[in-house]
A and B are shown apart, each in its own frame.
Chain A
Amino acid sequence: MLNLDSSLKLLSKMVRIRAVEELIANDFLNNKIFSFLHLSIGQESAAVGVCSALNTEDLVMGNHRSHHHYLAKGGDLEKMIYEIYGDSRGCCKGFGGSMHMLDRSVGFVGSTPILGSVAPLGTGIGFYLKATKRDNIAVIFIGDGAAEEGAFYESINLAALFKVPILFVIEDNKYSVISSHSDRKSKDYSYSKIIEGLGATYVNMAAKDVAEVNSTVTSLKAGILQGRKPAVLHLDVVRGVYGHSGPLKENAPHYRVNDNIDFITANDCIGFYKDKLIVDGGIEADVIETLIEEEIKEVETVFFNVRSNIKIRI
């Protein structure tokens, strides 16, 4: 049985992330933004599902694509928008830009775009939590491309050796830029054999259902703290219609052969969860639509207000 209040919160958080990214994407296309941009559209359930299972004191790090992680952990929306536009009121005072999200007040301790780099950094953050005897975990997000870098494997070993409380989350959108898994891995490649072989718990699941991600992370966190064993959560996500970088819709031949626009729409995490709340939760469709509209409106109000304060080529 779904808890109505928390279910609606999960939905509105996903809607909030998508709404602001759509607005940002539009300005990027109109040459109003001079920060490199990687959108998370389509992957919101991964961030919201994971972060909604954490406390403020659990420390999260992200990567080049981390607007959704930052907002899901409770990062300040206005400061994120300012940062992306290069304004000194941004979360990094304009020094970082889109690839450097930071809000330490909510336990989002940074994002940094050198892919697998974040795995050792997160291991150090988890080490700190353990050394200072806190009942919290570190969480890092990486993509399926970054999970091919040695730093990731080395870090799992380090975390297992030192019993570091850390959850490594792989957001597997199937593409490294536009290279698919079969371009990058042998057919015998096995995440579970590698990760379990290094001494970590491994769970693979589709991230489409934000509530399922939430409950999985809740139990993984408990296991990490009780079992003193790191974990890897491998989430299958569906990249939205935008490509790797910027709001550009890449059209390379043989890219996205199987997951075409119909597939993307049918497997969209927001659409899926909306339907689930109506069908399984028994919530009236128009209640949900009203909630979504209100959330979007609220984001637009904040966005355009912030935007009107920015002097950089608007």
Chain B
Amino acid sequence: MNFVEAIRDGHLYQLSNNELCYIIGLGVNYPNGADGSTKGLAILYPERVLDVPVSELSFTGMAVGMAAQGLRPVVHHGRIEFAMLAFDQIFTQASRWNYMFGGDYPCPISLRICIGRQWGNGPQHTANYHSMFIQSPGLDVFIPATPEDVFRGLIYSSSIDRPSVFLESRWLYRTSQDFEATFDNSQGKFETASIYGEGNDFTLLTYGDGLVDCLKFIDFCNENYGYHGRVICLKYFHADLRYSEELIQAILNSNNVLAVDTAPFEGGLLASFIGYAVTHHKHESLKVEKCSPPHHPCPTSPLLVGEYYPNIKSIAASLSNFGFTFNELPELLFDDLHVAPNFDYSDYKYVNIY
């Protein structure tokens, strides 16, 4: 199942299990709506899969109002830059709703917001503002990295009463994974991160679309250099408790941490997590390096994009600051840098932490 199919299956579960659920967004009723992630749903549920005027602020606000009265709307924004027109409703209304009214007044809106890299999209279609969402209490934030993450996340989000935001990387839409498409919500929790690999020479800390290159790098090191590392991939941030104790312990118990961020590092999600983890435990020391894009927007031309995002070579270069040596690195092809990956996660084992 690929990433897009996993979203669609998640929506099918939501629509068929709860008649209060609505899918709202520009073109979600098209034959290949929302990049295929809502394909065919409007035929099955014409009253609850709704195309809307190009009024991002107001259709999002309408969904906030619906949610506050007990409906379960899921709103889709095709790019973060358009969702930003609705930030008043997402941040100032939905995230604070239950809090500002003194509790017992939930607002279970769910938002799917496409974010980050895509070829040819340029400075105004590829921003990575994950950290803004993390900084706002009141929103459950999901950053799915795999088809299984997004499927399970959508189903989990239907069971909670807090507003939830999925920061969805379109770059990952062609990735695939074999997994059992069922999810038992009875445990009442969702993994805050997953750890891939068991090596302890180094730890790559990443999230979302950073995972693919991190896994490729782990394979490359195992095969060519005998360095054995692991990846901690952040996946879910609870509205009230952003970083769990287990997650903080996991990072503090890691050797040679390399933050692999697909957003500029300054003020970003990984910088703030590392800062929190280190200061949370009486100023523990942690050896950290970073591998991230430069602090400017992503340009459009592939020639200018070049190696803007982290890749096997730049991860190796950053890791060499810890003393690892890499004599020979693979040549990166155009497709490695500029085309969304067909990566298959199926053979990668992981352990969830909560």
Contacts and interface: CB of A to CB of B under 8 A. Distances in A.
A120 B101 contact: no
A112 interface: yes
A158 interface: yes
A20 B71 CA distance: 36
A95 B57 contact: no
Nearest to A140: B65
A279 to B, nearest CB: 43
Nearest to A115: B88
B58 A154 contact: yes
Contacts of B89: 117, 120-121
A150 to B, nearest CB: 7
Contact of B101 (A96, A119, A126, A150): A96
* Residue among B62, B64, B66, B88 having the largest count of chain A Cβ atoms under 10 Å: B62
B53 interface: yes
B256 interface: no
Given A117-B92, A151-B61, A59 B69 contact: yes
Given A158-B59, A158-B62, A124 B101 contact: no
Interface in A85-138: 90-96, 100, 102, 104, 109-110, 112, 114, 117, 119-129, 131
B102 A124 contact: no
Interface residues of B, number: 30
A155 B58 CA distance: 6
A161 interface: yes
Nearest to B60: A120
Contact of A127 (B57, B66, B102): B66
B92 A120 contact: no
Interface residues of A, number: 36
Interface in B220-247: none
Nearest to B55: A154
B63 A124 contact: yes
B269 interface: no
A122 to B, nearest CB: 6
Given A92-B101, A120-B58, A151-B57, A158 B52 contact: yes
A127 B61 CA distance: 12
A81 to B, nearest CB: 15
Interface in A21-66: 59
A157 interface: yes
* Residue among B65, B67, B92 having the largest count of chain A Cβ atoms under 10 Å: B65
A238 to B, nearest CB: 30
A143 to B, nearest CB: 17
A102 B55 contact: no
B66 A155 contact: no
Nearest to A127: B66
Contacts of B64: 120-121, 124
Contacts of B319: none
Contacts of B93: 112, 114, 117, 121
Contacts of A122: 65
Contact of B58 (A104, A110, A125, A151): A151
A268 to B, nearest CB: 33
Contacts of B101: 92, 95-96, 100, 102, 110
Interface in B49-107: 50, 52-53, 55, 57-71, 73, 88-89, 92-93, 99-103, 105
Given A96-B102, A154-B55, A117 B68 contact: no
Contact of B69 (A91, A109, A117): A109
B68 A96 contact: no
Contact of B102 (A93, A121, A126): A93
B102 A120 contact: no
A225 B64 CA distance: 23
A158 B100 CA distance: 27
B70 to A, nearest CB: 7
Nearest to A150: B57
B160 to A, nearest CB: 19
Interface of A: 59, 90-96, 100, 102, 104, 109-110, 112, 114, 117, 119-129, 131, 150-151, 154-155, 157-158, 161-162
Interface of B: 50, 52-53, 55, 57-71, 73, 88-89, 92-93, 99-103, 105
27 contacts: A93-B103, A95-B103, A100-B100, A100-B101, A102-B101, A102-B105, A110-B105, A112-B93, A112-B100, A114-B88, A117-B88, A120-B89, A121-B62, A124-B62, A124-B67, A124-B68, A124-B69, A125-B65, A125-B69, A128-B65, A128-B70, A151-B88, A154-B53, A154-B55, A154-B58, A155-B62, A158-B53
Given A95-B103, A125-B65, A158-B52, 6 more contacts: A100-B100, A120-B58, A120-B64, A126-B65, A127-B66, A127-B71
